[in-house]
Amino acid sequence: MAQHCDCQTAVIDEQKAYQTLMQVIEDYDRKPSNLIQILHMAQAIFGYLPEKVQRFICEQMELPFSEVSGVVSFYSYFTTQPKGRHTIQVCLGTACYVRGGKKVLDALKGLLEIDVGETTPDRRFSLEVKRCIGACGLAPAVAINNVVHKRVNPNKLQDMLSQYE
Amino acid sequence: MFTMTINQQQVTAREGETILEVAKRNHIQIPTLCHLEGIHQIGACRICVVEVEGAKSLMASCVTPATSGMVVRTHTPKVRKARKVLYELMLSDHPTDCLHCARSHDCEFRQLGEVLQVDVSRFAGQRSKNLVDTSSAAIVRDNNKCILCRRCVSVCNEIQGVGALNAQNRGFGTSISPGGDLLLGSAVCAACGQCTLVCPVNALKEKDATKMVWDALADPELTVVVQTAPAVRAALGEPFGMPPGSLVTGKMAAALRRMGFDAVFDTNFTADLTILEEGYELLGRLAAGALANGAVTREQLDTLNLPGHLPQPVLPMITSCSPGWIKYAEHFYSPYLDHLSSCKSPHMMLGALTKTWYAQKQGIDPKRLFVVSVMPCTAKKYEVTRPEMTTDGIANVDAVLTTRELAQMIREAGIDFTHLPDELFDSPMGLSTGAADIFGVTGGVMEAALRTVYEVVTGRELPFEQLHVQPIVGLERIKTASFQFADVKPEWSFLEGVTARIAVTSGLAGAAHLLDEIAAGQSPYVFIEVMGCPGGCISGGGQPRPVNDDVRRKRLEAIYREDEGKPIRKSHENPDILTLYSEFLGSPGGHVAHNLLHTHYTVRSRT
C-alpha cells in the first residue's frame, strides 16, 4: 500500500471538509436565516470556526464578515479556537456547584493555565463548562471526552489528567 | 385614526404610529438617544421608556405601537428615575473628557444628560473597550466613546448594504467592529462615512487633516491651493447657525482667502471638465459598439472629435466621481469594473491640473505646491491615498478636509463667517457652469452629462423644461428616464432613433440593485449615475450634522438654485474649459487628458 505523508492527508481532509460544508450550505438553501444552523454544522466539520471558515461561509452566502463574526462571537457554543485532543467538561449544575464544582474548575484552570473556552498550547486539553450533565448523584462531576469522572477531588486532578495523552 | 391619552391629554393617533411618533406630533417631547427616524428604531438604549397603563414594565416608546384607548405617561417620577439610572449606567462606561472632545458642542449623549438633569455619576467601574482604530485613511473609530446605540450598524448594513460594522461578542464585552481581529482599514468599508454622520458621540469621525493643512499654510516654502466641492457651499453655513439650504459660495471663497490660501479654486471647474471627458467617453463607447456591429465605418468615426483610442463598448457606463462607490464596486462587483467610467473624480482632476498646467503657467515647482480639497465626503480622504492618484510620483491632492473640518478651521482662525462679504474664486480654475453645480446632488452628474451629450449629437438643447431631467430629480433611491436621439447631426447618423435609457441611484444598496441587473445580463440602461451617499454629496459623510430628509431637500433646492442662477448652464460652454483644452489638454480623451485625468481600478476581496 502506498505511503501517504500526513500533510497530504491533511490537505485532502481540508478539501473534503470544505466540500462537505459547501453541501451543508446548499442543503440550507444559502438562506441567511439558516446561518446559525450552518455554523453549527461547520463547527461539527472543522471542530472550530477559524476566520478562514467564516470567510468561506460569508462568500458562499454573500453575507458580510462582520455579521457572521458577530454571530460566532455572540454564542458561547461557537469557538474560534481549535479543540484539544481531549475535551474536559466541568459540570457547574446546582448539585455539582454546591459540592465543589467551582473549586474543581479553578484548580483545572490553574493546572492547565487556560481559561474556560480555551485550549492548551500543546492542544492536549480544551476546557469547557456545562450546566448539569445529569450526573447529580456523582457530584462534583467532570466529563472528559464524554466519560464521566465522579466525585472529583480538586487535589487529585493530576492523576485524572495523566490518563489522557 | 383613533384616540389615546398622553399625560392626561386626549390625542389622536394614526394606525401604525409608535407612541413616540404620536407624542412628537402633539408636541410632547420624549427624550431619545439611539432612535434615528426612519433608519434606526430598535429600542436599544431604552431612554425613551414611558409608563403604559396595564403594562407590566416600562415600554420603549420608539418601538411600541400606539393603540386605541391607550393611556401613557411620559414623565412620571418612575420614568424619570429609570431614564437617569440608564444614563448613569451608560456614563459609567464612557470617558468624561468632554472639555477636549471634538463632539462636545453637538454630542447627543451630553445633551441628553442635560435634558435628564443628571447631576451625579454614582457608578464607577471597569471600562469595557479601549480600542482606537486609525487604520482607515478616512474614518477613525474610537471604541472608548462608543455607547453601543447601533445607529452606525443600521446605516452601514440597511441603508448602504455594506456591512463593515456589526456588534461583536456579548454583554459587557460587546463592541461595534468589523469582526475578528479586523481593523476598518482592511475591512470592506467603502469609507462613505455615513456612520460618522449618525454617530451621536465622538466614536466615529473623519481622520483629522486640519493639522496638516495648518502646517502647510504656515510653511513659507509652499504655495497652498484650495478647491471646494459643489455640495460644500450648500451646507457650510449650517455650523455657523444659518438655516439648511443657505448658499454660502461667496463667503466660503472669502473665508478661504482670509485663512491664507494662495489660490482659491473651485472643484466645479473640473466638474465641467469631467462632463466633457465622461460625455465623450460615453459617446466613444456608443461609437465603439456601432463600429463593432457595422452600423458605422471607421472613416465616419474619424470625422468625430472622439477619444483617439475608442474605449471598449461596455454598457451601461457608470459614473466614477464617488470614491466610496468605487471602493464598494471593487469589493463587491469586481467582475464589472469595466462598466466604470475611467474618469478620475473632479477634485483629483483639479489636483492633477494644478501640479502640471497651473504649475507651468505660474513657474512653480510642483513639489512646492500643496493642494487641499474641501469635500462633503470622507471617502475622498481615502481616494487621495490610492497609488493611481499621482502624476510623475507627485500626489495630485495632498490633503482633504471635510465640510465639518473646514467649519472648525474657520472658527479657529477667528473669522466671523456670517459677516463675510461674497468673493469670487480665482482664475484660471474658478469659473463653472450650472451643470457643475448640480454634481453635488443625486441625478446631477447624469443631467449635466446629458445637457452636453445630447447637444453634441443633435446640435439642440436637451428637450426638458429648464434643462432639468425631472424624472431623475429628487431623493428616491432609484430613478430612471429615457430619451431618444432624433434628428441627429449627419456625422452622428449611427445614433439616429436610438433610445437611451438611464438610471440614477444614491446610497450603495441602490447601486447593488442596479449592478445585480448588470450581473444578470438584464440591465436596460446605457448610462448609470451612482453616488455613494443617500441623496448624493449634499448629505455626504463629511457634511455638517444632523442630516435627515428635510435637510437633504433644502440643500438639494439650494444646489438647483445655484444652477439656475448661472449665466452658463452647460459644461461644454464654459470658456475657461475651452481655453484649457486649446492651451494644454488637446481634445477630450486625448493623450494628455488620458494621462492626467483618467484612472483604473483594483479588484478587492468581498470579505
What is the grid cell recorded at A42? 461547520
pLDDT at A2: 46
Cβ–Cβ contact B179 with A under 8 A: yes
Q: CB B164 to CB A66 under 8 A? A: yes
The residue in chain A having the minimum alpha-carbon distance to the alpha carbon of residue B184 is A66
B484 forms beta bridges with: B499
Note which residues in 321-380 of chain B have CB less than 8 A from chain A.
Answer: none
Neighbours of B11 (CB within 10 A): 19
A19 and A46 co-located in one domain: yes
- Nearest 5 degrees, angle CA B449-CA B455-CA B457? 100
Q: Hey, do B132-206 and B210-268+347-419 end up sharing a CATH topology, with the first three levels equal?
A: no
Q: CB A67 to CB B177 under 8 A? A: no
Name every chain A residue with its beta carbon within 8 A of the beta carbon of B606: 58-59, 62
Q: Is the peptide bond before B428 cis (omega within 30 degrees of 0)?
A: yes
Of A74, A95, A116, which closes a domain?
A: A74
Q: CB B162 to CB A64 under 8 A? A: yes
Spatial contact of B214 and B351, defined as CB atoms under 8 Å apart: no
B502: enclosing H helix or E strand: strand B499-506
A103 and A148 co-located in one domain: yes
The residue in chain B having the minimum alpha-carbon distance to the alpha carbon of residue A64 is B163
Q: What is the mean pLDDT of chain A?
A: 91
Rounded to two decimals, the ipTM of the complex is 0.89
What is the grid cell recorded at A33? 436565516
Q: CB B178 to CB A66 under 8 A? A: yes
Task: Report the number of distinct structural domains present in chain A.
Answer: 2
Residue A1 lies inside a defined structural domain of this protein: no
Cβ–Cβ contact A115 with B under 8 A: no
- Please provide the CATH number assigned to the domain covering B2-116: 3.10.20.740
B210-268+347-419: in CATH 3.40.50.1780: yes
pLDDT at A5: 53
Q: What is the pLDDT of residues A93-122, one digit of tens each?
A: 999 999 999 999 999 999 999 999 889 999
Domain extent at residue A26: 6-74
* Residue B462 CA neighbour count, 13 Å, CB half: 23
What average pLDDT does range B457-480 have in this prediction?
94
A150 and A100 co-located in one domain: yes
Task: Scan for cell 498550547, then name that residue.
Answer: A121
What is the grid cell recorded at B549? 430628509
What is the distance between the alpha carbons of residues B495 and B162, in angstroms, rounded to a whole number? 38
Residue A81 lies inside a defined structural domain of this protein: no
Phi-psi region of A117 (alpha: psi -120 to 50; beta: other; left: phi over 0): left
pLDDT for B477 beyond 80: yes
End-to-end Cα separation, chain A, in angstroms = 29
Phi, psi of B575 (to 5 degrees): -60, -35
Rounded to the nearest 10°, the torsion over CA B172, B177, B180, B186 is -160
Output the CA–CA distances (angstroms, integers) from residue B212 to A28, B134, B139, in the order listed: 52, 16, 16
Note which residues in 146-175 of chain B have CB less than 8 A from chain A.
Answer: 157, 162-170
pLDDT for B191 beyond 50: yes
B349: enclosing H helix or E strand: helix B346-353
What is the distance between the alpha carbons of residues B470 and B447, in angstroms, rounded to a whole number? 9
What is the distance between the alpha carbons of residues B292 and B284, in angstroms, rounded to a whole number? 12
Q: What is the mean pLDDT of chain B?
A: 96
Nearest to A55 among B164, B168, B607 (CB): B607
Closest C-alpha to B501, from B512, B520, B477, B517 = B517
Nearest to A73 among B157, B163, B168 (CB): B168
Q: What is the pLDDT of residues B257-291, one digit of tens each?
A: 999 999 999 999 999 999 999 999 999 999 999 99
The beta strand positions in B517-605, using DSSP E, are 527-531
Residue B531, SS3 per DSSP: strand
Spatial contact of B305 and B332, defined as CB atoms under 8 Å apart: no
Spatial contact of B240 and B544, defined as CB atoms under 8 Å apart: no
The pLDDT confidence band at residue A6, using thresholds 50, 70 and 90, is low
Q: CB A73 to CB B169 under 8 A? A: yes
Q: Which amino acid is it at B342? A: S
Give the CATH number of the domain where residue A109 resides.
3.40.30.10
A105 and A50 co-located in one domain: no
Q: What is the pLDDT of residues B482-499, one digit of tens each?
A: 999 999 999 999 999 999
Cβ–Cβ contact A64 with B under 8 A: yes
Q: CB A68 to CB B169 under 8 A? A: no
pLDDT at A1: 43
A68 and A97 co-located in one domain: no
pLDDT at A16: 93
pLDDT for B151 beyond 90: yes
Name every chain A residue with its beta carbon within 8 A of the beta carbon of B162: 64
Output the CA–CA distances (angstroms, integers) from residue A56 to A39, A116, B177, B183, B336, in the order listed: 11, 27, 19, 19, 22
What is the grid cell recorded at B137? 485613511
Spatial contact of A144 and A104, defined as CB atoms under 8 Å apart: no
Domain edges within chain B: 2-116, 132-206, 210-268+347-419
Q: CB B157 to CB A67 under 8 A? A: yes
Looking at residue B532, the DSSP 8-state letter turns out to be: S
pLDDT at B41: 80
Spatial contact of B409 and B401, defined as CB atoms under 8 Å apart: yes
Cβ–Cβ contact A116 with B under 8 A: no
Q: CATH fold of B132-206, please?
A: Alpha-Beta Plaits (3.30.70)
What is the nearest CA distance from A118 to chain B, expressed in angstroms?
16
Q: Annotated catalytic sites of B, by residue? A: 278, 281, 321, 341, 380, 383, 388, 537
The beta strand positions in B349-392, using DSSP E, are 369-375, 390-391
SS (H, E, C) B303-346: CCCCCCCCCCCCCCEECCCCHHHHHHHHHHCHHHHHHECCECCH
Chains A, B: CB contacts within 8 A come to 57
Name every chain B residue with its beta carbon within 8 A of the beta carbon of A65: 163, 178-180, 182, 187-188, 607
Cβ–Cβ contact A70 with B under 8 A: yes
The residue in chain B having the minimum alpha-carbon distance to the alpha carbon of residue A56 is B607
What average pLDDT does range A72-76 have in this prediction?
91
Cβ–Cβ contact A69 with B under 8 A: yes
What average pLDDT does range B509-535 have in this prediction?
97
The beta strand positions in chain A, using DSSP E, are 86-91, 125-130, 142-144, 147-149
